[in-house]
Amino acid sequence: MNAFCIVIVNHIDSSTIVINLKVEALRINQTFIHYVLKTIDTQNHEESENCSMRIATLPPRRLINLIYTRSVPFIMIVVSVQMGILLDLQVLKELVRRPVALGIGFICQYFLMPMIGFAISKLFRYPTLYGFGLFVVGCCPGGTASNQLTVIFNGDLALSALMTFTSTIASFFMMPLWFYTLGNYAYLRQLKIRIPFWDLMQSLATIVGPLILGLIVAYCIPKVKYYVTLMVKPVFILLFFYFFGFGTYVNFYLFTYIDWRMALTAPLLPWLGYFLAGVLAYLFRQDWIRVKTIAIETGMYIDYS
């Protein structure tokens, strides 16, 4: 919707003029105010300058949002400690020594998924902002949600944790690479986006620190691994439904921005990721447990926060 207004100010000295305009936001989005500044001096000499101002609308600040966002980091740290306790160092060493599965995962996460996101946004003609959002999702690592699903579906926990770690490290150079090549060509000429390197650092610290702590606990108190093994799957299932239910309720207002076209096509990104990553892992003769793990790590793109 376009609006037009004229503001006339009679001013003869050189002090600063402050003009307040009230803009009511109806949706979370960003837009620009374009205006022409015209000045006429006492001798009727007129000068004009075209100006613009970016306006961004942020999500609502509510107590329930604060409770949810504050609970997520604490729970994720506890989950990562549990994963560290369950990790087998010998399996980790073997994965690093023969990194075929890691290589498949890297290709799926940072080459397959960005291209799928780009193709969907262009094929179904997403608006620029929403198309870029889907492309960003395809370029970002999946986080600890994929680790939980790996445990729930009896996948390879060591491979899952190592893929999460390596994909987070790789995001420091792979995300800028995609944003300033294909992203710049397809989207960023119309948008101004900054890469959240500090958030990536926090994500890396949240993953690595608790994992190391869990490994230390398992080494110092070997019996704790038995008890964590018994309780980890029920706990992860409960946490998954907690985040899904609570997170949906907190962010329910976002559903009002989704039209039928995006609702039907955006889910193609994770599901194609699951399917194609599983097929690629199978073609490279990975066993069924690793096929499941690579598929989950590729398609599971959820940030609980």
- For residues 135 and 183, the answer to whether their CB atoms sit within 8 Å is yes
In tens, the pLDDT along 129-178 reads 888 889 988 988 767 788 888 888 999 988 988 888 888 888 888 988 89
Q: Which residue has the higher pLDDT, 111 or 208?
A: 111
pLDDT at 14: 57
Residue 107: name the closest of 289, 287, 280 by CA.
280
Domain ranges of the chain: 63-299
Helix axes 288-299, 157-178, angle to 10 degrees: 40
The DSSP code for 98 is S
**H or E segment to which residue 136 belongs:** helix 128-139
* pTM summary value: 0.77
Mean pLDDT of all residues belonging to the chain: 83
| pLDDT value of residue 3 | 53
Residue 123 and residue 119: Cα distance in Å, rounded?
Answer: 6
- Within 8 A by CB and 6+ apart from 196, the residues are none
Which of the four pLDDT bands, split at 50, 70 and 90, describes residue 7?
A: low
Instruction: Quote the CA–CA distance of 141 and 166 in Å, as a whole number.
Output: 9
Task: Judge whether 299 and 273 are in contact, CB under 8 Å.
Answer: yes
CATH code, 63-299:
1.20.1530.20
Q: How confident is the model at residue 305 (pLDDT cuts 50, 70, 90)?
A: very low
Contacts of 211 (CB under 8 A, 6+ apart): 80, 81, 83, 84, 87, 161, 165
Q: Which residues contact 169 (CB under 8 A, 6 or more apart)?
A: 204
Is the pLDDT reported for residue 2 higher than 60?
Answer: no
Where is pLDDT greater, at 74 or 277?
277
The torsion of the CA quartet 169, 175, 180, 183, rounded to 10 degrees, works out to 170
**Which helix (H) or strand (E) covers residue 82, if one does?**
helix 63-86
Collapsing DSSP states into helix, strand and coil, what is residue 266?
Answer: coil
